[in-house]
A = this chain, B = another copy of it.
Amino acid sequence: MPPITFEDERIAMHHGAGGRAARRLVEGLIVPAFSNGALNELGDAAVIDAGGVRLAFTTDTFVVRPLVFPGGCIGSLAVHGTLNDLAVSGADPLGITVAFVLEAGLATAVLRGQVVAMADAAAKAGVPIVAGDTKVVEHGAADGLYINTSGIGIVRDDAELSPTRVRPGDQVLLSGPIGDHGITIMLARGEVDLAAELASDSRSVLALTRALLDELGPGVRWMRDATRGGVATVLNELVAGREIGVLVEEPRVPVRDQVRGACELLGLDPLHVANEGQFVAVVEAGAGERALAALARVRGGEGAAIIGAVVGEHAGRVVGRTSFGARRVIDVLVGDPLPRIC
């Protein structure tokens, strides 16, 4: 077993935030113990061989609060989240499982609403819910309900997605405006004295990733959905410890005015805020415009943008260039500004 390097004495909220502390926990304690090839790649889904079929397999537990928020709810989020992990792995989903932890005393109407939302989200994506589990814990031993979804899918023959295929000159795409989910949740909790017309971007991105792969095939080199930790974190994970960097043209990053305004007030960088319906894709040099055109033909793909490029300089770093040409390092998320975001 590789050495365990995680030395914090107790688990704290920031260990679940998707940023630096979360990475220390996962890489310093969990991965060393479970060490094997599929896990070590730390993709959104493991890809394993199943009798000659390339199978993507992924899991996520959802603990978001509140349970219902503008644009979505924990149930639809749980379905979208796992479908999106399969989608950015280049997989066609075969089925998902659902496991509930319910707090005793939970109103059945609440559970019913979530079950119906999950069924709707799965049906809309054309993916069956094939197995499930239900546990109940005492009142006070959970916060309403938590939902785990796991999913499997067959990786498309034309998908060759890997961080190792990414090289200087490749273009970096974003599927749409960022930060909607994180800011919506923050506002829904009433923790911030701010009113804004905003809804979570929670959605399945399956139609978008399919359009991209249909258009470019292996010309799509890598994709990740930008959930906890935001776009900054997934880009940093792409280049960490490698001889490449990413240069983000900051004015090109799509951010709604309401999100930008809220982030300024709260001292947050939109690139660190969680999304639940947006992904980052790296496509081969020169294929960016074709990629955008393919995405624009799909409902919900109109807001996609080329936000930067993979570069041979800035090794291991993500660097932003402002409209004035100034450069700054865009680091991973530190701390946890938005606990229980998904």
Contact = CB atoms under 8 A, between A and B. Distances in A.
Interface of A: 1, 4, 6-17, 22, 25-26, 29-30, 33-34, 36, 38-39, 43, 45-46, 48, 50-53, 55, 57-63, 94-95, 97-108, 111-112, 115-116, 118-119, 122, 128-138, 140-143, 146, 148, 150, 152, 154, 339-340
A147 to B, nearest CB: 9
Contact of A131 (B39, B95, B141, B154): B39
Contacts of A63: 101, 135, 137, 141
19 contacts: A10-B104, A11-B104, A15-B134, A22-B134, A33-B115, A45-B131, A48-B94, A50-B50, A51-B52, A52-B53, A55-B94, A57-B95, A57-B97, A58-B131, A60-B99, A60-B133, A61-B100, A63-B135, A63-B137
A59 B98 contact: yes
A55 B59 contact: no
Nearest to A39: B130
B33 A1 contact: no
A296 to B, nearest CB: 31
A55 B152 contact: yes
Contacts of A119: 1, 33-34
B115 A29 contact: yes
A102 B15 contact: yes
A50 B53 contact: yes
B34 A129 contact: yes
B12 A108 contact: no
Given A119-B33, A131-B46, A13 B136 contact: yes
Nearest to A97: B59
B143 A141 contact: yes
A104 B34 CA distance: 22
A105 B11 contact: yes
Given A33-B116, A150-B97, A135 B59 contact: no
B13 A59 contact: no
Nearest to A133: B60
A123 to B, nearest CB: 9
